[in-house]
Chains A and B, each alone.
Chain A
Amino acid sequence: MNNMNDRVEHINTSLETAILQTIEEMTFEEVEVVDHNTKELLDHGEKYWATLPLKKPYSGELILQLPSKCARKMARQLHANDAENINDEAIHDLIKEMLNTIAGRFLNEIVQLDQDFELGLPESGKGDPPRLGEEVTSILCDVACDHLVATVVGKDFETIDNV
C-alpha cells in the first residue's frame, strides 16, 4: 500500500469485517457500521470496556466499548437457559471473549498468510476505557440493542503491506 489513507481504509474494512462476523456469529445480533472516527459511545450511560494488546507483527491495542444494557442483552441471549444467572463476571467475560475473537479476525485480515501474529490477554472494566496510545481508527456500530465502539490504537500500522 502506498499511503497512510489506504492503510487506514484497509484497517477500517478489516475491523468492520471482524466486528460484524464475530458479533453476528456469537450473539446472533445484527450489526451495522454507523460511523468512523467516533471514539466515544453516543449515550454516556453505564458502559463496559475491554482492551487487548496486539503484540506481533504490529504493536498496539484494540478497545471495545459497549453500553451495559447491550452487554446484558447479549449475555442473556448467549446464556439462553441460564439467563437468570447472568452476573457482572459473566458480562466481563463475554466482552473480553468478544474482543479476543474480533482481534484474531482483525489480524487475520491485515497480516500476511505466511506471517506469525500474537495477541496479549484481554482486560475489562466499567466506565471510560484507559487511554492507551495514538489512535489509528475508531468505528461506531449499531447493534440491535444499542451502539458499540471499537478502536485501534498503535504506532506500527504504517508498515502494513497486506493489500
Chain B
Amino acid sequence: MIESVIIADDSATARMIIKRCLEVAGVEGKFYEAKDGEEALKLAKENEVDLMVTDLNMPNMDGWALLKEIKASSKMHELPVMVISSASNEKIKNDLLEQGALAVVDKPVSPSTVATALKNITDTNQWG
C-alpha cells in the first residue's frame, strides 16, 4: 500500500494536478512536494517514502539525474519511480524503463493514466 509519495516537479500547477490524480487513484497518506531533483533526493533521504513521482525537465537536478541517484543508492534503490513528463517519446520511455523507472506517464496526466501506472507499480512491488 502506498502511504507516502514525493512529487518532484518545478511547476506548482503540475504538482497540484499530479497530487489530485494520485488521490483520485486511491493514494491516501502523506505527500511531499519538491521543485527539483535536489529537493526530492533530500526528502527521500530524510523520510520513509513508498513512491517517487518525478518530472524530467527540472532546474538544478533533472529527473534523469534523480533516477540515476536513486538507483545507485544502496538505501533507496528499491524506491519505485514513476516519471510524468511531456518530453518523452518511445525511445525516451524505453531509456527510462531501462534505467529503473517503473512507469512513464505522459503529461497532461489524468486520474486513469495515473491509476494504470500505479497498478503496474504495485503489481511489481510489495509494500509491507
Q: Quick check: is A5 within 8 A (CB to CB) of the other chain?
A: no
Shortest distance from the beta carbon of B84 to any chain A beta carbon, whole Å: 11
Judge whether B11 and A93 touch: CB under 8 Å.
yes
With A22-B108, A25-B110, A26-B108 already in contact, the answer to whether A96 and B11 are too (CB < 8 A) is yes
Render A88-119 as a binary contact track against B, CB cut-off 8 A, 1 for contact: 00100110110011111101100101111111
Interface size on B, residues (CB 8 A): 22
Q: Which residue of B lies closest to A115 (CB)?
A: B91
Judge whether A100 and B90 touch: CB under 8 Å.
no
Shortest distance from the beta carbon of A74 to any chain B beta carbon, whole Å: 10
**Which of the listed residues B13, B17, B58, B87 has the most CB atoms from chain A within 10 Å of its own CB?**
B13
Judge whether A119 and B57 touch: CB under 8 Å.
yes
Shortest distance from the beta carbon of B125 to any chain A beta carbon, whole Å: 27
Q: Quick check: is A132 within 8 A (CB to CB) of the other chain?
A: no
Q: Quick check: is B14 within 8 A (CB to CB) of the other chain?
A: yes
Distance in angstroms between the alpha carbons of A117 and B85 in the assembled complex: 12
Q: Quick check: is A78 within 8 A (CB to CB) of the other chain?
A: yes
Judge whether B107 and A101 touch: CB under 8 Å.
yes
With A26-B108, A93-B11, A97-B13 already in contact, the answer to whether A121 and B89 are too (CB < 8 A) is no
List of B residues within 8 angstroms of A94 by Cβ = 13
List of B residues within 8 angstroms of A79 by Cβ = 16
Distance in angstroms between the alpha carbons of A78 and B91 in the assembled complex: 31
Distance in angstroms between the alpha carbons of A96 and B89 in the assembled complex: 21
Q: Which residue of A lies closest to B59 (CB)?
A: A121
Main DSSP-derived SS at the B contact region: loop
Judge whether B13 and A111 touch: CB under 8 Å.
no
In the complex, which range does the number of interface residues on chain A fall in? 20 to 34
Residues facing A in B38-93 (CB within 8 A) are 57-59, 85-92
Shortest distance from the beta carbon of B66 to any chain A beta carbon, whole Å: 16
List of B residues within 8 angstroms of A104 by Cβ = 85-88, 106-107
Shortest distance from the beta carbon of B27 to any chain A beta carbon, whole Å: 19
Distance in angstroms between the alpha carbons of A90 and B91 in the assembled complex: 33
Distance in angstroms between the alpha carbons of A79 and B15 in the assembled complex: 12
Give me 19 A-to-B residue pairs in the complex whose CB atoms sit less than 8 angstroms apart, sorted by A's number.
Answer: A25-B108, A26-B108, A78-B17, A79-B16, A97-B13, A97-B14, A100-B11, A100-B107, A103-B87, A104-B85, A104-B107, A107-B87, A108-B88, A114-B91, A115-B89, A115-B91, A116-B92, A119-B57, A121-B59
Contacts from B to A (Cβ < 8 Å): 10-14, 16-17, 57-59, 85-92, 106-108, 110
Contacts from A to B (Cβ < 8 Å): 22, 25-26, 78-79, 90, 93-94, 96-97, 100-105, 107-108, 111, 113-121
